[in-house]
Chain A
Amino acid sequence: MTGAPPDTQAKGIGARLARKEDARFLSGRGEFVADIRRPGMLDVAFVRAPVAHARIVDIEKPEGWESLVYTMADMAEVKPIVAASKLPGFQKSEQYPLAKDKVRFVGEMVAMCVAPSRARAEDLAEQVFVDYEDLPVVSDMHAAANGTAEGKLHEHWDSNVFLETQVDNKAGIADDVVSVRRQLSTSRQCQVPLEGRGVVCWWDHRLNRLEMTSAAQMPHINRTGLAECLGLDEGQVRVVSPDVGGGFGYKGILLPEEICCAWLAMKLDRPIRWIEDRNEHLSANANCREHAYDISVHVERSGRLAGIDCDAIVDSGAYSSYPFSACLEAAQIGSILPGPYKMDSYSCHTRSAATNKPPILPYRGVARTGVCFALEVMLDIAARELGIEPFELRERSLVGPDDMPYTNITNKLFDSGDYIACMHRAVEALDWSGWRARQAETNGRKRIGLGLATFCEQGAHGTSVYHGWGIPMVPGYEQCNARVTTDGILELQIGAHSHGQSMETTMAQVANTVLGIDPEQVRIMHGDTGGSPYSTGTWGSRNAVMSGGAVAAACEKLADRVRRLASHLMDVAADDLIFENGGVVSGDRSRSMTLADIAHTWYRAPQLLPDDVDPAGLGLVAGYKMRPDMGTFSYATHACAVEVDTVTGAVKLLDYAICEDGGVLLNPMVVEGQLLGGLAQGIGTALYEEIPFDDEAQPLASTLADYMVPGAAEMPHLTIEHMETPSPFSTFGQKGIGEGGAIAPPAAITNAVNDALGGLGAEIHSVPISPERVIAALEAAHESD
């Protein structure tokens, strides 16, 4: 890994400061939902549907235990989860927290059982007898989208399609372009954070409100959704998200389990707990990524990209999840497929298909991983067809540094950067030409291949991007509640939450840059709707920019107030004061005062301040809005070398390089951590992770024995190069970069495998690239010979 040696003095923006949260995490002292105990707490277990599509004829509660088993009939006052979109033609689903009338996927909850322990609750669940009348199962998204499926998910719908969209920016292209067309797909997989979902909730009689501790990325949004479904006013719900062991999008969703547990806590007036297990996680809840593309790219002989035509389907599963809605992925495909490329012509038709599978949920990168895979794999196929290196094609087609700021074919405003230089740095970091030489020497059983993938990651996108979707959540601005305590500690409360983003460290670094305060003296409080400003939470690579902007704004305002007090106490003009080392100094450095001294005076010795002092004090709320709010565009190129065993189909990663531009990095070490974690997940998508479903939509990977995630041994050697082109739109020039690591690996690795197999006429079109898929591709090539 490259990068400047750590500067042990610097603690502000740009410093490789060790993470403040590590002390508790590395010594096992974090507090996660499952660590929480409440007196009198009961556990629940859910009865889940064993079939994918069936009418519920009857539910028989175990005799003598009826009072410990609940069905939707018992929860009549609870409203279903509705996450509609106002985009024209959207068909909305109603998801009752416990199935009502019929079940629509294997694992859907039918009844809730409560007992003093989870094991006992499971004993009860085993004795609940449900009589199902099978309905025709919709297991194939193509059949769902094309109207050829026999079954129908939602009776009142016209079809099995949530939403259909069409982007049409077609224009004339030259006759002699090279056009390539393929059908590509990404498999249904799981987010697999180390910690699953979990909830503990109870009714607080003193404050007359529901207290819910939940492993959540977006506690305010959860609160809004909960209040709506339960018929409470929002003040009667407090959601606290404690330490969270990874979210990746899955924890940004309001779960039916949360609604059930909240209802039961109110009903029984007892603390109620549900901790998701891996089986529930894999087979019923955390599903993502299933895309299918029929895509054509048109490239001029020179290697310049002229146009793209695409028809995409996303298997959205049975319901639209709150708050993002079932069309998030497919409609995003239409707008982001062109990636960082310039082109003359573009069209994209998308459908969000409803099937008898769990709802599809966002996962790190959301639709970007799929579109990057689709487009980048096509570009390499086109380059091979033209007989040029993949970077030559991209060099002629990427948006250039002189084009910035650039509005692309789908009206995205790119803020800054040099995408072509970034790509070349990744190519060099991998030693592309060295690998090409080695490749030429190996053409036996084991073949070497090289691949790369370029993408951009829009982060912190705001109102103008989201309001058009008409979904339950539209981001606007971000606020920070800041105060200095009597002893000079800076407390910052934000509405977003960290589930691994290191915000306790990076937000303290922002405060250090503005106020000169030591990060150790800064306390970040987040993940609690109790007193924090409303926030849409942590998603879409938005916190470095949005929470960072809000923290900076609050610190600036506090600085003003501190300056005025200090000016009086030190008898120095306010604009002659500099913030440094946890205090203020006069310009000529003759006088100084610590923040603790100033705070002490304000709170505990007001007699030292003038009578006309501004009584607003050392606490305030300040906000941040990015203008324009199209978001920041970070970008990267991933390049890799692989070895493919043509007998077994095994793919081995030989080397990997990433060059990335995240604008001004708040903490390069944290960014590298994000890249490493993202890369591991991207390798999972590329090579290992998949939940196959059979024709009856039964999930075939429901434990970690069947669902494979990469481990430490599967990580390749990695070289990281940073570029730092500031964004002109954010406070410090920082850009969102949390998801990128997981976006490009499926594309880069598939390109490398296809490069290795190219000489044999075989091509991979689906991830994960399992050994079976490699062998099948080789056999298909053999047959067509």
Chain B
Amino acid sequence: MKAIDYRIERASDVAGAVEALQADPFAKPIAGGQSLGAMLNLRLAQPECVIDIVGLDALKGLRIESDEMVIGPLVTHARLEDGRYDDATGGMLAHVAAGIAYRAVRNSGTIGGSICHADPAADWIAATAALGATFDIQGPDGTRQVAARDFMTSAFETTLAEADVLTAIRVPALGDTARWSYRKFCRKTGEFALAIVSGVVDGQTGIERLVFSALDGAPVVIERAGLFDELAEPDARQVLLDDDALSISGHRRALHAGLLADVIADIRGTA
């Protein structure tokens, strides 16, 4: 299949992109095109106008600013994978990036595109929720911040309004003694995950967070002190897995159960 006839406009800055999106309710921004390209060709997306934001320097680069990492949405998976930057996540970003698709996809696909596309099995949706990230969003009424765990509302749906642009991903720095685990199950290399479980524990901030993802909708985030000690008990895991919020059964439950066991072992250092 081929895309419908659409035009491409090149945005000169973020405000310009927002304006162009506002002017045309059927317009869509394009970053790496790895998801939107397929949507266009399958005619699942039929925008009259595509706003190219790839040239916007304001959306590129990643740096550490006081106690958080600020990642431009146009940073590619490949850049994050290669790890040549100051990292405050103990290698978690690079690990997650390396597991996305194939290198060819990672060369073009961006963290921002992945988050905005909001595929229930997208790695950055799960990983940013596990890291407790927040997103900067610029729209016609100015900028606002949304916590990663509140951003995705359901499959392929987010709190982004039509003329909103994601401008930064803010990831709080992990302490030196923090531990993280990111486990997913894919049928084969390069496939989207059938199940994702991730855990982050940071002694410095007292945060203990567990994320289930690749569910029907948004990831489920569980955050409370003592969580991982609790989960050392097999019964506690069963209660968690049977929670209605997850709504998983059969093979999918078995996969999440297997990954949960791995994540607990990683976090507790018993692997």
A interface, CB within 8 angstroms of B: 117-120, 122-123, 126, 277, 279, 645, 647-650, 688, 703, 705, 708, 710-711, 713-714, 770-772, 775-776
Task: Decide if A771 touches B2 in the complex (CB within 8 Å).
Answer: no
Of B4, B102, B191, which is within 8 A of A123 by CB?
B4
Q: For A649, what are the chain B residues with a Cβ–Cβ distance below 8 Å?
A: 251, 254
Judging by beta carbons under 8 Å apart, are A771 and B251 in contact? Answer: yes
Between B38, B42, B102, B194, the greatest number of chain A beta carbons within 10 A of the residue's beta carbon is seen for: B42
Q: In the complex, how many angstroms separate the beta carbon of B250 from the nearest chain A beta carbon?
A: 8
Query: Which A residues lie within 8 Å of B254 (CB)?
Result: 647-649, 775
- Specify which chain A residues have a CB less than 8 angstroms from the CB of B146 in the assembled complex: none
Cβ contact within 8 Å between B42 and A703: yes
Distance in angstroms between the alpha carbons of A123 and B46 in the assembled complex: 12
Q: Is the CB of A279 within 8 A of B258?
A: no
Tell me whether A277 and B251 are in contact in the complex, defined as CB-CB below 8 angstroms, given that A650-B185, A713-B188, A714-B189 are known contacts.
no
Decide yes or no whether B1 CB sits under 8 A from chain A.
yes
Once bound together, how far apart are the Cα atoms of A776 and B255, in whole Å? 13
A648 touches B255 (CB 8 A): yes
B256, closest chain A residue (CB): A648
Q: Judging by beta carbons under 8 Å apart, are A711 and B190 in contact?
A: yes
| Chain A residues whose CB sits within 8 angstroms of the CB of B42 once the complex forms | 279, 703
Does the CB pair A119–B2 fall under 8 Å?
yes
Q: Say whether A279 contacts B255, CB under 8 Å.
A: no
Residue ID in chain A nearest B262 by CB atoms: A647
Contact A647 B257 (CB under 8 A): yes
A118 to B2, CA, bound (A): 7
**What are the nearest 8 A-B pairs in CB distance?**
A119-B2, A713-B189, A647-B258, A772-B251, A648-B258, A775-B251, A118-B2, A775-B254
Report B161-199 CB contacts with A as 1/0, cut-off 8 Å: 000000000000000000000000101111110100000
Find chain A residues with CB under 8 A from B3 CB: 119
Closest to B192 in A: A705
Tell me, in angstroms, the Cα distance from A713 to B99 when the chains sit together: 13
Task: Given the known inter-chain contacts A119-B2, A122-B1, A648-B258, please indicate yes or no for A688 contacting B188, CB distance below 8 A.
Answer: yes
| Residues A122 and B2 in contact, CB atoms below 8 Å apart | yes
Given A648-B185, A711-B190, are A279 and B251 also a contact pair (CB < 8 Å)? no
Given contacts A126-B43, A713-B188, A771-B255, 18 further A-B contacts (CB under 8 A): A118-B2, A119-B3, A119-B4, A119-B5, A120-B5, A122-B1, A645-B258, A648-B255, A688-B188, A703-B38, A705-B38, A708-B191, A711-B189, A714-B188, A714-B189, A771-B194, A771-B251, A776-B251
Q: In the complex, A122→B40 CA distance in Å?
A: 13
Task: Output the nearest chain A residue to B185 by Cβ-Cβ distance.
Answer: A648
- In the complex the two chains form, is B187's CB within 8 Å of A708's CB? yes
Which among B1, B3, B43, B261 has the greatest number of chain A C-beta atoms within 10 A?
Answer: B1
Show the binding face of B for A, using Cβ within 8 Å: 1-5, 38, 42-43, 102, 185, 187-192, 194, 250-251, 254-255, 257-258, 261
Give A119 to B5 CA distance when docked, in angstroms. 8
User: A703 vs B114: C-alpha distance in the bound complex, in angstroms?
Assistant: 20
- 26 example contacts (A-B, Cβ-Cβ < 8 A) are as follows A117-B2, A118-B2, A119-B5, A120-B5, A122-B1, A126-B43, A277-B1, A279-B42, A647-B254, A647-B257, A647-B261, A648-B254, A705-B38, A708-B187, A708-B188, A710-B188, A711-B188, A711-B190, A713-B188, A713-B189, A713-B190, A771-B185, A771-B187, A771-B251, A771-B255, A776-B251
How far apart are the CA atoms of A650 and B250 in the complex, in Å? 15
**Contacts of A714 on B, CB cut-off 8 Å?**
188-189
Give A404 Cβ to nearest chain B Cβ, in Å. 42
Cα distance, A126 to B4, chains bound together (Å): 11
How many Å lie between the Cα of A703 and that of B41 in the bound state? 11
Residues of chain A within 8 A (CB-CB) of B187 are: 688, 708, 770-771
Given A647-B257, A648-B254: A279 in contact with B188 (beta carbons within 8 A)? no
A714 and chain B: residue at smallest CB distance: B188
Q: How far is the CA of A384 from the CA of B86 in the complex (A)?
A: 57
List of B residues within 8 angstroms of A650 by Cβ: 185
Cα-based distance from A730 to B5 in the complex (angstroms): 58
With both beta carbons as reference points, the residue of chain A lying nearest to B252 in the complex is identified as A772
Report chain B residues within 8 Å CB of A772.
250-251
Q: Which residues of A contact B251 (CB under 8 A)?
A: 649, 771-772, 775-776
State the CA gap A134–B95 with chains docked (Å): 51
Chain A: CB-nearest residue to B195: A648
For B190, what are the chain A residues with a Cβ–Cβ distance below 8 Å?
711, 713
Instruction: Give the CA-CA distance A647 to B255 in the complex, in Å.
Output: 7
By beta carbon, the residue of chain A nearest B3 is A119
In whole angstroms, what is the CA distance A117 to B5 when docked?
11
Given the complex of chains A and B, what is the CA–CA distance between A463 and B102 in angstroms?
A: 48
Using Cβ atoms and an 8 Å threshold, which residues of chain A touch B258?
Answer: 645, 647-648
Least Cβ–Cβ distance between A153 and chain B, in angstroms: 28
Cα separation A771 to B253 with both chains bound (whole Å) = 12
Q: Residue of B at shortest CB range from A648? A: B258
Return chain B residues, CB-CB under 8 Å to A710: 188
Contacts of B185 in A (CB 8 A): 648, 650, 771
Q: Which B residues are CB-close (under 8 A) to A645?
A: 258
In the assembled complex, the Cα of A775 lies from the Cα of B185 at a distance in Å of: 14
**A122 nearest CB across to chain B (Å):** 6
In the complex, chain B residues whose CB is within 8 Å of the CB of A703: 38, 42
Query: Which A residues lie within 8 Å of B5 (CB)?
Result: 119-120, 123
Complex CA distance for A132 and B3, rounded to whole angstroms: 27
Contact A279 B1, beta carbon cutoff 8 Å: yes
- For the complex, give the distance between the alpha carbons of A705 and B34 in Å: 13
Chain A residue contacts of B2, Cβ below 8 A: 117-119, 122
- When C-beta atoms are compared, the residue in chain B nearest to A709 turns out to be B188
Q: Tell me, in angstroms, the Cα distance from A117 to B106 when the chains sit together.
A: 31
Contacts of A771 in B (CB 8 A): 185, 187, 194, 251, 255
* Closest chain B residue to A703, Cβ basis: B42
Q: State the CA gap A694–B91 with chains docked (Å).
A: 43
**Shortest distance from the beta carbon of A86 to any chain B beta carbon, whole Å:** 41
Q: Which residues of B contact A277 (CB under 8 A)?
A: 1
Closest beta carbon of chain B to A277's beta carbon, Å:
6
Chain B residues near A708 (CB, 8 Å)?
Answer: 187-188, 191
Across the two chains, which residue of chain A brings its CB closest to B259?
A648
* Distance in Å: Cβ of B244 to nearest Cβ of chain A: 22
* Chain A residue nearest to B251 in the complex (CB): A772
**What A residues does B4 contact at CB under 8 A?**
119, 123
CB of A280, distance to nearest CB on chain B (Å): 9
- In angstroms, Cα B187 to Cα A187, docked, is 17
A647 contacts across to B, CB distance below 8 A: 254, 257-258, 261
Measured in the bound complex, the distance between the Cα atoms of B1 and A705 in whole Å is: 15
CA–CA, A123 to B2, complex, Å?
Answer: 9
Q: Which residue of B lies closest to A445 (CB)?
A: B258
Cα–Cα, bound, A415→B169 (Å):
69
B261 surroundings in chain A (CB, below 8 A): 647
Distance between A335 CB and nearest chain B CB, rounded to angstroms: 36
Which residue of A is nearest B257, CB measured? Answer: A647
Give bound CA distance, A771 to B188, whole Å.
11
Q: In the complex, which residue of chain B has the Cβ closest to the Cβ of A120? A: B5
CA A647 – CA B250 in complex, angstroms? 12
- Interchain CA distance A371-B43 in the complex, whole Å: 41
Expressed in whole angstroms, the Cα–Cα distance for A714 and B42 within the complex equals 27
> Given the complex, which residues of B lie within 8 Å of A713, measured CB to CB?
188-190
Identify which of B3, B4, B102, B188 gathers the most chain A CB atoms within 10 Å of its CB: B188
**Within 8 Å CB of B255, what residues of A?**
648, 771
Q: How far is the CA of A327 from the CA of B5 in the complex (A)?
A: 45
B contact residues around A770 at 8 Å (CB): 187
CA distance A687 to B102 in the complex (A): 20
CA distance A772 to B3 in the complex (A): 35
Q: How far is the CA of A279 from the CA of B41 in the complex (A)?
A: 11
Name the residue on A nearest B189 (C-beta).
A713
| A contact residues around B189 at 8 Å (CB) | 711, 713-714
Give the complex CA separation of A287 and B190 in angstroms.
24
User: How far apart are the CA atoms of A642 and B102 in the complex, in Å?
Assistant: 24
Residues on the A chain within 8 Å of B250, using CB: 772, 775
User: What B residues does A119 contact at CB under 8 A?
Assistant: 2-5
Closest partner residue, chain B, to A280 (CB atom): B1
Task: Please measure, in the bound complex, the distance between the C-alpha atom of A751 and the C-alpha atom of B42, giving whole angstroms.
Answer: 39
